[in-house]
């Protein structure tokens, strides 16, 4: 007998990216709001375990989505419209999303404990260096002056990332939580579903919510109070998809 409803499926697609950043010199990671946060989604899969040895590909399609935009629902809806539903009766416990490591982000974040801000100025980050930015003492100036920048999730490994400060450069070691793995230009994000999902033939309804209040990550260097101390990277917004 077919189930009369699809089990609720909730998944945090983007969030809790960083486990830690270890510095060879003193430094802290701070966050701030993004008014643009464009991610490039390439593939979404359902998995029967965290290892994803048995996976069903829902969508394979490269698509840009600005999750800070009010119109993002239409973008996600268009992406989901190409979904291939899984076999009936198979229970999935995880979702794996393949996302490009480069994010287009516009915004700012604290660069010190208070009163100092670094904002995106069009400078790009790389796999081995944080993006530069500009410093100001005004949050409103940071918000109005920010321009979109290509911020990239940096490499892992001891001292793999260059950290800028006004007197020169140092290094930082970035690690990610166990849900994140890097593969070339891509990030694979495997997230346990809040409730296991089994498809029984019904067309799902998709609810989506987003938040980008912490979409910009700023790595403090020295006093974080001059342009040369700005080190920016993708922050940790959330995108929650519920299928019911």
Q: Is 145 left (phi over 0), alpha (psi -120 to 50) or beta?
A: alpha
Query: Between the CA of residue 205 and those of 5, 112, 195, 242, what are the distances in Å?
Result: 11, 43, 16, 8
C-alpha distances out from residue 15 to 59, 119, 180, 215, Å = 20, 21, 10, 10
Asked if the structure places residue 1 within a domain, the reply is no
pLDDT digits 0-9 by tens, 63-88 = 898 888 877 767 776 777 778 889 99
Backbone angles phi, psi at 5, to 5 degrees: -150, 160
4: in domain: no
Residue 130 lies in a domain: yes
pLDDT (tens digit, 9 = 90+) per residue, 143-192?
Answer: 999 999 999 999 988 888 998 888 888 888 888 888 888 999 999 988 88
In a domain, 184, yes or no: yes
CB atoms within 10 A of CB 157: 11
Report how many domains make up the chain: 1
What's the rounded Cα separation, in Å, for the pair 31 and 28?
10
pLDDT tens digits along 99-108: 999 999 999 9
What's the CA gap between 166 and 21, in Å, rounded? 20
Q: Tell me which residue range forms the domain holding 146.
A: 9-243
Share of the chain above pLDDT 90, in %: 41
pLDDT at residue 8 in the model = 42
For 105, 119, 158, 212, 229, the CA distances from 149, given in Å and listed in that order, are 5, 10, 26, 15, 17
Residue 119 in contact with residue 224, Cβ under 8 Å? no
Residue 3 included in any domain: no
For residue 236, being part of any structural domain is answered with: yes
């Amino acid at each position: 007998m077919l189930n009369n409803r699809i089990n609720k499926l909730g998944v945090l697609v983007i969030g809790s990216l960083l486990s830690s950043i270890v510095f060879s010199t003193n430094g802290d990671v701070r966050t701030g709001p993004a008014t643009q946060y464009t991610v490039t989604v390439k593939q979404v899969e359902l998995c029967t375990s965290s290892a994803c040895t048995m996976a069903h590909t829902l969508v394979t399609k490269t698509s840009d989505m600005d999750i800070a935009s009010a119109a993002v629902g239409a973008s996600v809806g268009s992406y989901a419209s190409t979904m291939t539903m899984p076999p009936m009766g198979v229970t999935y416990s995880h979702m794996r999303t393949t996302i490009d490591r480069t994010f287009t982000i516009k915004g700012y974040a604290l660069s010190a404990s208070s009163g100092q801000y670094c904002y995106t100025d069009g400078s790009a980050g790389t796999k081995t260096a944080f993006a530069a930015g500009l410093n100001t003492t005004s949050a409103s100036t940071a918000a109005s002056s920010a321009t979109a920048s290509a911020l990239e999730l940096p490499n892992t490994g001891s001292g793999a990332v260059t950290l800028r400060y006004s007197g020169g450069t140092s290094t930082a070691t970035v690690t990610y939580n166990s849900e994140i793995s890097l593969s070339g230009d891509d990030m694979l994000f495997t997230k346990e579903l809040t409730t296991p999902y089994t498809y029984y033939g019904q067309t799902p309804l998709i609810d989506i919510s987003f938040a980008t209040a912490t979409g910009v990550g700023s790595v403090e260097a020295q006093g974080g109070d001059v342009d040369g101390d700005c080190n920016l990277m993708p922050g940790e917004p959330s995108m929650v998809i519920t299928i019911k």
